[in-house]
Structure 1
Amino acid sequence: MATKLFLLMILLSHVASSFSEWCHPQDKMALLQIKKELNNPTILSSWKPNTDCCKMNWYGVTCFHSNNRVRDLIISNDNKLTAKFPLSIDNLPYLESLFFDHLPNLTGPIPIEPISKLLKLRTLTISSTGMSGPIPNFPAQMKHLYNLDLSSNYFSGTLPYSLYKLPKLGSIFFYNNSLTGSIPPSYGYFNNKNLPSLLLSHNQLSGKLPISLARLNTTVIELSHNKFEGDASMLFGSNKATREIYLSQNLFTFDLGKVELSKTMTTLDVSHNQIYGKLPVGIENILSLNVSYNNLCGKIPKGGNMHLFGVNSFFHNKCLCGSPLSNCK
């Protein structure tokens, strides 16, 4: 009798544990397959079949309380993880955030087919990895995607043309790659309600900026350390919500004195170009400024925040004068 009671208690404990497990069976199976595809790295040693993936026990995994589905997957800072991008990622249909960061031995191209099936995805970060190849055109069906961070990898080729079709896209971080070619005219047609940030610095992009960028109302635009040329004045505008513009280390040539700064502008770096003209009206309201190594002329205004800037913000221009440079004649 005692033996039967003992066995019954064991059975009931197993039943209770199965009912108390949060992790959805499909998601748990998918995560274990992803672990296998990543070659069972030590960083994922907490992913064990006999434990619950949704009770904060599994590294990098968080779940929705409402339906016990995996919401976020974050794997980062592992020099020993050596693998390709896991194709089984598409078996996590409720995933909202996918974050692969500082994984230098994660290699290969972006597998767009499985990623494009993550229809609830809001944030995709593949940063500081060994991944390479072209950046694909993410399909419009990924209508919730807001943050796309593919920075500091080895991606090459041209910028994907159809990103503007993603209705909620608000952050585009492609800096520190090996991208070539020009900015597509379609980039002037992002949804301006999102105030998108466009960070493309430290690539090998070139050519003239499309006139359509005049339509773009960005928070931050970062084009420095490329090979762009010609006019960039369309990026400015008094009615825009732009806070920061970085254009340094290019071949831009336009009259800076004719641009209108946004009322929200805090940072302007146009150094190391071939920009000419005077300093624009309202520049004294900026908090961070660098116009050095250009062909600017005229008197540096006083007042506002101009006392914050030293010689390095203005030197190596054609004929700028006034404090902190030499007096105007």
Structure 2
Amino acid sequence: MEYLNWDDSENWMTGSGICLWSGVSCHRRHGSPPDEIRYDNNNGVTRLNLTSNDVRGTLPREIFTALTDLRVLHLDGNELTGTIPSELGNLGRLEQLHLGSNFFSGTLPSSAGRLSECRYLFAGDNYLTGTVPTEIGRMSSLTELGLHENDLTGNVPTELGLLGRLDSAYLDSNGLSGTVPTELGRLRSVTDLRLRRNELTGTVPTELGNMESLEVLYLDGNGLGGTVPTELGRLGNLDQIFLYKNQLTGTLPTELGLLSDLDHVYLDHNLLTGTIPTEFAGLSDVRDLFLYNNRLTGPIPPRAVAGMKDLVRLRLHNNTLTGTVPSELGELSHLVELELQENGLGGRVPSELAGLVNLVTLKMHSNGITGTVPESICDLQSRYRLDEITTDCASGGVVCPCCTECV
């Protein structure tokens, strides 16, 4: 690693003791002076932190052979290249390994499985290839795993289900294939699971409903099929569920309405059918509800709308919804986006929508809506934030003096 042009290379390769080098920390015997350890005495080094320090070049193998007492290695946010040495496994006392946001290539060494005391392993945002080593399942102390935004391929190892202390797993934005392992359902402590933007197929395992601590579930951008498991309704701590851009079929589980802590629900760009459950009234904390680009039918249930008081963005467009636009939408005072276009809705534009003082986008075109857009709704443009409003005013079905686009 070239040190001359680092942002902070204070005392490096000088006569000062190695423990005075910028980013280096050491053990010291009780009462010993800071300069007791000389720069060529490596036995006491426990921490090397060079995060975002403009460090370049390759990773010296000597770090992993000479600094055997190392507990913390932070090299993230630099411009390091080359491979991660297989000697990584020699650091048996390592607790934190941060190699993310560099230019590392090659594979993640299977010797990482020997890091039994390591709690944090981050190597995301690199150019790593090959598979996720099954040996990671031996890292019994691991709480956070970050291998996102690489070029990893192969299956998601079933051995991840052995990591009983795991809290977060970021394997998103790779080329992983195969199915989502049912063994992940054993991970009762995981709060954040991200497998998005891979090439995963198969179904969403029902066993994920056993992950009782789960708060964030990102499976979007894969090729998953089958139905949305009703078992997900058991995840009482779930805050975000991203299943969009898959090939999910079947109906929306009424059990999702039990998840009162849900904040973001993204189920768009699938092949979902059936109606929007009235039970969604239980989504009292939801801010984003994206169900667009599916094959949903039936009316927009007024009771469900009335229960979602914190709703900010509602996107139901490009389905086959029928009935009228519920007047209850006008009670959603936080609503910023309302997209109902490209459905089979009829009736008139309810005047109650004039209560949406935070509304920025209102799209209702390509429906069967008729009549005149109430003046009170048009007033939202001049008095509040409404910036975009589209209806079928080009065909004469709707009279809209304030529409920004007539379809």
How many angstroms does 1:219 deviate by?
1.6
* 1:270 pairs with 2:270: no
How many angstroms does 1:78 deviate by?
2.7
**Structure 2 unaligned regions, length at least 5:** 1-39, 47-66, 74-80, 102-111, 113-117, 121-139
Match of 2:90 among 32, 45, 50: 50
Q: Distance in 2 between matches of 1:22 and 1:94?
A: 19
1:260 corresponds to? 329
1:223/1:311 CA distance change after superposition, 3 Å: closer
Match of 2:299 among 222, 231, 236: 231
User: Secondary structure of the residue that 2:202 maps to in structure 1?
Assistant: strand
One-letter amino acid matched to 2:150? D
1:314/1:308 CA distance change after superposition, 3 Å: farther
The answer to whether the 8 A contact 1:209-1:228 is kept is yes
Match of 1:304 among 380, 384, 388: 380
The answer to whether the 8 A contact 1:176-1:201 is kept is yes
Q: Cα deviation per residue 1:227-274 (whole Å; 9 max; x = unaligned)?
A: 000112343117621111100000001211533331111111011001
* 1:109 pairs with 2:172: no
> Identical aligned pairs, as a percentage?
22
Written as runs of structure 1 = structure 2, the 5 A alignment for 1:51-70 is 51=91, 54-59=95-100, 63=119, 69-70=141-142
One-letter amino acid matched to 1:76? H
Q: Cα deviation per residue 1:193-243 (whole Å; 9 max; x = unaligned)?
A: x14322110001111223322333222111100100011234311762111
Divergent runs of 4+, >6 A = none
User: Secondary structure of the residue that 1:154 maps to in structure 2?
Assistant: coil
1:143 corresponds to? 212
Q: Distance in 1 between matches of 2:276 and 2:82?
A: 44
Higher relative contact order (CA 8 A, sep 6+): 1
1:202 corresponds to? 269
One-letter amino acid matched to 1:253? T
Q: TM-score, normalised by structure 1?
A: 0.77
* 1:288 pairs with 2:361: yes
1:88 corresponds to? 159
The answer to whether the 8 A contact 1:293-1:317 is kept is no
Q: TM-score, normalised by structure 2?
A: 0.63
Q: Cα deviation per residue 1:122-176 (whole Å; 9 max; x = unaligned)?
A: 1111111011000012455422100111001000001101111111011111000
Kindly name which structure, 1 or 2, has the bigger radius of gyration based on alpha carbons. Answer: 2
Q: Distance in 1 between matches of 2:315 and 2:269?
A: 11
1:132/1:43 CA distance change after superposition, 3 Å: farther
1:325/1:102 CA distance change after superposition, 3 Å: closer
* 1:215 pairs with 2:282: yes
The answer to whether the 8 A contact 1:292-1:317 is kept is no
Q: Distance in 1 between matches of 2:361 and 2:262?
A: 21
How many angstroms does 1:319 deviate by?
2.7
* 1:320 pairs with 2:404: no
1:87/1:111 CA distance change after superposition, 3 Å: same
**Greater per-residue strand proportion:** 1
Q: Distance in 2 between matches of 1:101 and 1:46?
A: 24
1:100 corresponds to? 171
1:29 corresponds to? none
One-letter amino acid matched to 1:251? T
The answer to whether the 8 A contact 2:228-2:252 is kept is yes
1:77 corresponds to? 149
Q: Distance in 1 between matches of 2:171 and 2:192?
A: 11
How many angstroms does 1:119 deviate by?
1.8
Q: Distance in 2 between matches of 1:97 and 1:213?
A: 28
User: Secondary structure of the residue that 2:329 maps to in structure 1?
Assistant: coil
Q: Distance in 1 between matches of 2:308 and 2:247?
A: 33
Q: Distance in 1 between matches of 2:314 and 2:85?
A: 44
The answer to whether the 8 A contact 2:327-2:353 is kept is no
The answer to whether the 8 A contact 1:294-1:317 is kept is no
2:105 corresponds to? none
